[in-house]
Structure 1
Amino acid sequence: MNRRRFLSLSAAFACAPALAQASTWSGIALGAEVSVTLHGPRDMTAPLLAATPARLRAIEAQFSLFQPSALTRLNETGQLDLSPEFADLTALCDRAHLLTGGLFDPTVQTLWQAAATGTQADPTRIGWHQTRRTRNTLHLGQGQQITLNGIAQGYATDLIRADLQRAGATKALINIGEFAALSGPFHLGLSDPEHGLVGQTTLTDGAVATSSPSGTLIAGQPHIMGPAGQPPLWSTVSITAGSAAMADALSTAACMMPLPDLRGLKQAANLYRIQVVDTEGNLTTL
């Protein structure tokens, strides 16, 4: 499957009076089902929603692994002159890598490829610390390739939200693989691929990202793995924060973090909420 994760949050707009004023665009981007719901008069929402597909194509042209992009060129050549958005995302990768003690690591693309092809990964090619930047150029280590699937969907969600806010939108729910809200509240169901609906969360002017390791399998194994091959500890992790990109990256790494480490992560990253589902379907909320 091309999708990084099980899309484990679904919006529930239950009979809200404002629903009659809501308009939605939906499609596919970055390997996931995506949608943007805007509240307001049609003459405002229609042009904003009409601009969404082109904006997402421009984002995919930078970060997609599923079609030719700046990211695939980086993996082919080992270096890339960074656009402002690519540089921004690289800085966010640095921060997520630091906050998680190295568990968030885009160079795990090497592990993914090895698992998919049944070959042995070269551990010397794994390690975000091996990448370096000179001015506006990103250089990979010898033989390295990276994936941004653990953060790009959240980053795209943030970009679309910022676009809408600049255009004057005041109430919206953006789902580009992760969720972000303008205003609200929006009530979202939390679902696990093994145990179904296990809880819910309410989102107002924030973002939520959810990772389920077994939602997508690579050669029968969970698609989320640590840079040293660490297995996931949780069936699902959902993080609510101000930034969808950071929630995305941290929810990926948090799948491999025990509860004491998650408590430290919540404080260090100033997260609003962490929800974890264990292998038996029990939900714990921090």
Structure 2
Amino acid sequence: MTLSRRRFLAISAVAAALPVAARGQSVHHWRGVALGADASITLAHPDAPRIVAMARAEIARLEDVFSLHTPGSALNRLNATGRLAAPPPELLECLSHCATLYRATDGMFDPTIQPLWVLYARHFAGKTNAALPDATVLKSVLEHVGFQKIRLDPNELRLKYGMALSLNGIAQGLIADKVAALLRAQGLTDVLVNTGEFAALGHAPDGQPWQIGLRSGDDLLPERAALRDAALASSAAQGISFDGEGRVGHILNPKNGLPAHKRWKLVTVTAPQAWLADGLSTAFCLMNRNRIAQTLQAFPQARIERLVV
């Protein structure tokens, strides 16, 4: 697969958001990886190293819930067996958010897309200029897609045979929210958290809103997004490509199994919570402008920050 444009955007946004120390405060900045994406925490506080260590531990704990790359994660155990007794509360919360987005987007946001994602990854592995998977194969895999087929119960989660979940379109945002909440509980009021999506508390040390740089492909956009007590997420239909030629993007339509139309090079959404911005930016890659506007009516505090054609 080609380099994730979304991951590259995260690097650029962090670089653009680095603040200048003000009012005698030193800025502590950590960079690492969360859910396979570049992550950072930027804050000004005399006890910053200890607080950042707490935040890193929280990220690791949540990866053990949501990550497809951690063999023993709750999500992987659910996918492997089709059932998960006593699911972690964070997983139940995330799936509740998924249900909200599934309804509001008329099924365009659907975490049961994982079997399709696996099909595409295997289909294009090691091939050059390959055609899309056969329509008959797509139809058979689509039988295992559909959020309404999940049994959601606080005591046990169940998937029908052949189903599997990917929370990559929402979990990064939810982790940003959780880390921001942890830092707020520590008494911090001015923090920028980046786990691939951004959650901003208060303002930068210079007293201004946090400034987030945006990229579309290789282009750094001239404007920046100003965040104060808000969240931001970006998605791109071609952010990851299944094929080496960069033709077949990673955001798949859960209704017909086809890759997202290339109408949008970048979709950036701001919202009160990062999980919401994350999920909407993913779903909007599959929608035209009118459908996006209709969906936003269900979330009056969310808005499109940038649509790049």
> Same fold by TM-score, threshold 0.5 exceeded?
yes
Hey, what's the Cα distance between the residues in 2 that align with 1:94 and 1:193? 31
Counterpart residue type for residue 67 of structure 1: T
Hey, what's the Cα distance between the residues in 2 that align with 1:155 and 1:148? 10
Find the counterpart in structure 2 of residue 86 from structure 1. 91
Q: 2:69 aligns with which of 51, 60, 66?
A: 66
Find the counterpart in structure 2 of residue 243 from structure 1. 273
Hey, what's the Cα distance between the residues in 2 that align with 1:53 and 1:177? 14
Gaps of 5+ in 2: 124-132, 204-208
Hey, what's the Cα distance between the residues in 1 that align with 2:154 and 2:20? 52
Find the counterpart in structure 1 of residue 199 from structure 2. 180
Q: 2:114–2:165: 8 Å Cα contact kept in structure 1?
A: yes
Cα RMSD (Å): 2.0
Counterpart residue type for residue 166 of structure 1: A
Counterpart residue type for residue 117 of structure 1: R
Hey, what's the Cα distance between the residues in 2 that align with 1:222 and 1:83? 32
1:123 deviates by 1.4
SS at match of 1:214: coil
1:234 and 2:253 correspond:
no
Q: 1:191–1:199: 8 Å Cα contact kept in structure 2?
A: no
Counterpart residue type for residue 225 of structure 1: L
Hey, what's the Cα distance between the residues in 1 that align with 2:83 and 2:251? 25
Hey, what's the Cα distance between the residues in 1 that align with 2:23 and 2:288? 41
1:35-89 deviation digits (Å, cap 9, x = unpaired): 111122x2x3221012222221111111001121111111100011311111111
Hey, what's the Cα distance between the residues in 2 that align with 1:14 and 1:159? 23
Q: 1:115 aligns with which of 81, 95, 120?
A: 120
1:206 deviates by 0.5
1:118-167 deviation digits (Å, cap 9, x = unpaired): 16341101111111123421111221011000001000000000000011
1:198–1:117 CA distance, 2 compared to 1 (3 A): farther
1:256 deviates by 1.1
Counterpart residue type for residue 115 of structure 2: T
1:127 and 2:114 correspond:
no
Find the counterpart in structure 1 of residue 252 from structure 2. 225
SS at match of 1:107: helix
Counterpart residue type for residue 159 of structure 2: L
Hey, what's the Cα distance between the residues in 2 that align with 1:37 and 1:278? 28
Find the counterpart in structure 2 of residue 273 from structure 1. 303
Give every structure 1 segment of 4 or more consecutive aligned residues whose post-TM-superposition deviation is greater than 6 Å. Answer: none
Identity between Structure 1 and Structure 2 (%): 37
1:14 deviates by 5.5
1:267 deviates by 2.3
1:277 deviates by 3.2
Counterpart residue type for residue 235 of structure 2: S
Hey, what's the Cα distance between the residues in 2 that align with 1:131 and 1:268? 23
Q: 1:190–1:197: 8 Å Cα contact kept in structure 2?
A: yes
1:224 deviates by 0.8
Q: 1:4–1:149: 8 Å Cα contact kept in structure 2?
A: no
TM-score (norm 2): 0.84
